[in-house]
Structure 1
Amino acid sequence: LSTYLPRLKVLLREANLEQVSATHLRKQIESEFQVDLRPQKQPFKELVHSTLTEIFTSGHEAHAPAAAHQASSTSATASSTSSRPSPAPAAVNSPAASRAKNPFSVPQYLSPALVDVVQIKTATRPEVIKALWKYIKDHKLQDPDDGRFIFCDAPLKRVLGKNRANAFAMNKILGAHLRTEAQYSENPHFSEIPMTEDDVVKPRTPGVKGAKGTKRKAAAPRKKRDPSKMPQYRLSPDLAKVCGFEQHTRPQVVKQIWVYVKANQLQDPQDGRFILCNDLLRRIFETDKVSAFSMNSHLSRHLTR
């Protein structure tokens, strides 16, 4: 699984953590690398959790390149008044200004419970997550036996509604504590988060129950394919211009397309799952905008054995 770690980190930094799941990420990797990771579902899920924790604890933002988040946050103090804070505007002529519609680059209002923890009244979502992890580290709330989990003190319980929370699931809960300026203007009151069952690690079972309660053997893990034995494909002239070579394996072709997309800044700033095609990519995908999932289906006619 370490082969896919660099791409997984990119996907996690660009993902909407309120909607994305480990299954979604696994299918994305399978689609891009043309592999079957179903026999490794649990190890992949654990890799996602550990990678996400590493991203946040290292201080890197999870949703976009750092340049996209130029908005400043307003610190709250114990003697703060009840006056309504104003989110700081994005810098003019900056990447953040061009991404003003992206909810992860726009300052949002925080619930009183979340303000008590991070001491910030308005901030972008990545800034909130970074401040939340600082609080967790400063108060030594991370589970020493499993860094994917957090022991909640009284203030965190008001935010997460648990005694012990999963770091990956924590980001989904934050949605209830954040509001855009329009949402806050319509309703400035936040509901309390009810206490729910603690997050736990699901034990791995050797067998899976069948339709009538009988157990069938779990699928045997597939052997990892040797890259040197993967089939080589000849690329069409247009695809060769993108990749910089005329023949290679399919995973390497997909990898090089992403290198080209990143180098030419063709990834949709509003939704990183989509690619905005320039003239060359338009000749390959025959569309102005293509998703990472459907991209592979277009490649077949440009690859020959």
Structure 2
Amino acid sequence: MGKLDDYVPMIDAILSASNPDEVSAKRIRKAIQELFAVDLEPQRKKVNALIVERFDQIQESRTQISHQDLVDKDVAVADKLLEKVNGSSSRSKSNGKISKPRKKRKASEAGNALSQNKMLLSPELQELVKEPEMARTQVVKKIWEYIKEHNLQNPADRREILCDEKLKPVFGDKTTMFALNKSLSRHIFNSQNKDQQSLSSAEDLTAENSASGRGSPKKLPSVDESTSEAAD
């Protein structure tokens, strides 16, 4: 068995290519075992701690790395790893039959660009980051800086964040490092979508008023009608 540091490049690649809401230390440890054909159970706690440490560092430095280069590299590495794991699992279940290779995912240029665009923030998130608009990557970075600065990670489990009064309106009493992005999705809005929603709401209100007669201006009586009423 090699030194644990030998697995750092692969751990980083998997973390960078994975969904932060779904990835876990256990999944990554098992993937490393499969890829390198090693047994890491005797060092399980050390390996888990290393994975959590690498997750922290990647979250802090992610925006400083060329995003497109990172995605291209890690998607290829992650796909290769998943093909190996899935292929091994399929062979054991189908008595030697090898499953069809998965098609490689294509990096979404639109998604990558969107993560760098300024987004509208909810009032709760604005209070936390002190900005009305900010790119999602910068929001995540600022929140991690805040968590580190105020030492809000649970000492017994570094994956868990114990929220203070400023974080609670956004994340509740506590959250995990893997659930941060999921929680943020409720507080970050595409400005274009927001404008479209406002326009749609205005159109709906106009249609409702027209149907009920509230939106129609009152008709003034004609000269003939006024004269007729005076004669009566």
Q: Shift of the alpha carbon at 1:117? A: 0.7
Instruction: Give the AA of the match of 1:66.
Output: S
Aligned to 1:161: 172
Separation in 2 of the partners of 1:24 and 1:186?
A: 40
Q: Following superposition of structure 1 onto structure 2, how do residues 263-278 of structure 1 map, counting pairs within 5 Å?
A: none
Q: CA deviation at 1:106?
A: 4.1
Q: 2-side partners of 1:9 and 1:42: how far apart?
A: 18
- Is the CA contact 2:52–2:158 (under 8 Å) kept in the aligned structure 1? no
1:60 paired residue number: 61
Which residue of structure 2 aligns with residue 50 of structure 1? 53
Measure how far apart 1:153 and its partner are: 1.7
Name the counterpart of 2:15: 12
For 1:175 and 1:156, the matched residues in 2 are separated by: 15
Structure 1: state its 5+ residue gaps.
70-97, 189-305
Query: 2:56 is matched by which residue type in structure 1?
Result: T
The CA deviation at 1:5 is 1.6
Distance 2:120 2:159 in 1: 27
Partner of 1:180: 190
1:136 maps onto 2:147 in alignment: yes
Q: How does 1:55-94 map to 2 (within 5 A)?
A: 55-56=58-59, 59-61=60-62, 65-66=65-66, 68=68
SS in 1 for 2:144: helix
Aligned CA RMSD, in angstroms, stands at: 3.5
- Matching residue of 2:213: none
Q: Secondary structure at the match of 2:161?
A: strand
Percent identical among aligned pairs is 34
Q: Is the CA contact (8 Å cut-off) linking 2:23 and 2:178 kept in structure 1?
A: no
How big is the shift at 1:65?
A: 3.0
Any idea what the Cα deviations from partners look like across 1:227-269, whole Å, max 9, x if unmatched? xxxxxxxxxxxxxxxxxxxxxxxxxxxxxxxxxxxxxxxxxxx
Structure 1 CA distance for aligned equivalents of residues 193 and 31 of structure 2: 32
- In structure 2, what is the Cα distance between the partners aligned to 1:17 and 1:106? 20
Q: Which of the two has greater helix per residue?
A: 2
**Greater Cα radius of gyration, structure 1 or 2:** 2
> Within 2, Cα distance between the matches of 1:187 and 1:46?
44
Using the alignment, how far apart are the partners of 1:20 and 1:43 within structure 2?
Answer: 18
Q: Which of these residues, 127, 131, 135, is aligned with residue 120 of structure 1?
A: 131
**TM-aligned CA distance change 1:101 to 1:170, over 3 Å:** closer
1:149 Cα deviation from its structure 2 partner: 4.0
CA displacement at 1:119 relative to structure 2: 1.9
Taking structure 2 as the reference length, the TM-score comes to 0.51
For residue 128 of structure 1, report the CA deviation from its aligned partner: 1.1
Instruction: Return 5+ residue gaps in structure 2 as ranges.
Output: 70-107, 199-232
Paired with 1:2 and 1:45, the residues of 2 have a C-alpha distance of: 13
Partner residue in 2 for 1:211: none
Answer yes or no: is 1:100 the counterpart of 2:100.
no
CA–CA separation in structure 2 for the residues paired with 1:145 and 1:20: 20
Counting matched residue pairs gives 156
1:175 positional shift: 2.6
CA deviation after TM superposition for structure 1 residue 38, in Å:
6.1
Return the offset for 1:185. Answer: 4.0
CA change 1:48–1:175 in 2 (3 A) is farther
